[in-house]
Amino acid sequence: MKTTDYSNIANKYDNNQYRIDEIRQDYDLKKYIDNNCKNEYHILDLSCGTGLYLEKQMKYFEGLNINWNALDASKEMLDMADKRLDKVTLIEAFAEEMPCHSETFDFISNNYAFHHYSLKEQALNEIYRVLIKGGVYKLHNITIHDMPKWWVYHYFPSAYYEDLKRYWNKDIIFNELAMRGFEVNLKVEYRMEKIKVADYLNHALNRDISVLTLINDRDYEEGLERIRYDLKINENKTILNDFAEMFCIAKKI
């Protein structure tokens, strides 16, 4: 499978206001803390990117004795996380080979990153290893198999075929976690709606959606042309869009 070079798009990724606005308090983390009263917690944001998730969570959970950790394979993404975050241990490493002691973390968050791992089984072995017993791994991602009408695939059809090579479907994810000794609770939130194409042109132009970096430039330019053409014919054009997000809570038992 192809991989996205985040060193090239770290800036664009970090400046995408949509990503910043969509992050809320992590209620699964809150639930873990509420149900596991401890003097100290060790939390890892796996593939933390530029630190957008942690920045918000650190505010929401201020006052608790939490040791925050952020791991990413890209130095450029971590450099930005470093600027954004205070009092976080930054770890430049691959998820497939974490330089962390076994049974270290209470909770591992993993947002929009699992599809990037070339060695997914190995990453899961590592996640299992570094979690404490009773600890929680939260895998949050889009589920591309449930969203073939996503606007990205509508305008950039080759993106779907690239994504099929990278994403595991939810059955595989569930089974791979369960067979390693996790108790798994997986849910998918799905929505279908009409969207205004004009609202998405800038997203496409920013090209920080990873799959748009994997398709070739010609397919990308043709997709942009299709968007511009549709908007020229009708500036209020809408298309049917579907979107599905997976929230998978895996507890090490």
Ligand X SMILES: C[S@@+](CC[C@H](N)C(=O)[O-])C[C@H]1O[C@@H](n2cnc3c(N)ncnc32)[C@H](O)[C@@H]1O
Q: Footprint of ligand X on this chain (CB under 6 A)?
A: 6, 19, 47-49, 52-53, 72-74, 77, 94-96, 111-113, 116-117, 210
Nearer to ligand X, 116 or 251 (CB): 116
Please report how close the Cβ of residue 194 comes to ligand X at its closest, in angstroms.
26
Q: Which two tokens stand for residue 79?
A: 């450099």
Give me the residue whose beta carbon is nearest to ligand X. 49
Strands (E), the chain: 41-46, 66-72, 89-92, 105-111, 131-142, 182-196, 238-252
Please report how close the Cβ of residue 165 comes to ligand X at its closest, in angstroms.
15
Nearer to ligand X, 72 or 163 (CB): 72
Antiparallel, parallel or unpaired: β 131-142 and 89-92: unpaired
Q: Do 118 and 3 form a contact (C-beta atoms < 8 A)?
A: yes
Please report how close the Cβ of residue 117 comes to ligand X at its closest, in angstroms.
5
Beta-bridged to residue 68, according to DSSP, are 43
Nearer to ligand X, 52 or 173 (CB): 52
Please report how close the Cβ of residue 245 comes to ligand X at its closest, in angstroms.
12
Nearer to ligand X, 13 or 197 (CB): 13
Please report how close the Cβ of residue 53 comes to ligand X at its closest, in angstroms.
5
Q: Do 159 and 211 form a contact (C-beta atoms < 8 A)?
A: yes
Q: At a CB cut-off of 8 Å and minimum separation 6, what does 22 contact?
A: none
Instruction: Determine the Cα–Cα distance for residues 109 and 100; give it in Å rounded to an integer.
Output: 15
Please report how close the Cβ of residue 55 comes to ligand X at its closest, in angstroms.
10
Residue 13 class from Cβ within 10 Å (0-12 exposed, 13-18 middle, 19+ buried)? buried
Q: Do 116 and 47 form a contact (C-beta atoms < 8 A)?
A: yes
Nearer to ligand X, 197 or 248 (CB): 248
Nearer to ligand X, 36 or 243 (CB): 243
